[in-house]
Amino acid sequence: MKKNLLMAALLGSCWMAGGALAEPPMDCPQGGPGKMLRQGGGGHGMGVHIGWLLHNKEQAQKAGLTDEQIAALQTVFDAHREEMIDLRANQEKARLGVEKIMASDTPDEAALMQAVEQLGQADTQLKKAQLLMQLKTRQTLGREKYDELLNKQQQQFKQRRESKHGRNPEEQ
């Protein structure tokens, strides 16, 4: 009983930790795709999501980005995107390993601990890559421009969220 409770707790914590770090693809703005980095491993607000700027030259120019900044961001974005595909695949494989062990009639505790360790490493690698991308974006834009864009994105997200839930931002 104690062993089953321990395994259930481990699986639950792995599931929550994995879900917190999971990210959708990054090809287009607003929903999953196009979002570069997320706060708290999955929330909105951590870092400037540069996908929307790179896919919309007019928005990038409106934001005051130079052609050099756009080109530098595109290079960083492309390299990061490829890396994230691999890291997410590793994370999913590690999560699958934990699930397979837990689905067994008699899960092996040592194998489970090893699988959980691999999942933790995959989660950590993914988070490190996300933070490195945030840092490179900030270095490319400069702190002032980065903060300005971050603030703008947070305001846009808040407006979308409020309109999605039928609230008028003016009434609050």
The torsion angles phi and psi of 43, rounded to 5 degrees, stand at -90, 175
In this prediction the pTM is: 0.63
Q: What is the 3-state secondary structure (H, E, C) of 9-34?
A: HHHHHHHHHHHHHCCCCCCCCCCCCC
* pLDDT tens digits for range 81-127: 999 999 999 999 999 999 999 999 999 999 999 999 999 999 999 99
C-beta separation of 102 from 11 below 8 A: yes
Comparison of pLDDT for 15 and 136, the residue scoring more: 136
Q: Which class in CATH covers the domain with range 43-161?
A: mainly alpha
Amino acid (1-letter code) at residue 120: G
d(CA 7, CA 11): 6
- 33 pLDDT more than 60: no
The domain ranges of the chain are 43-161
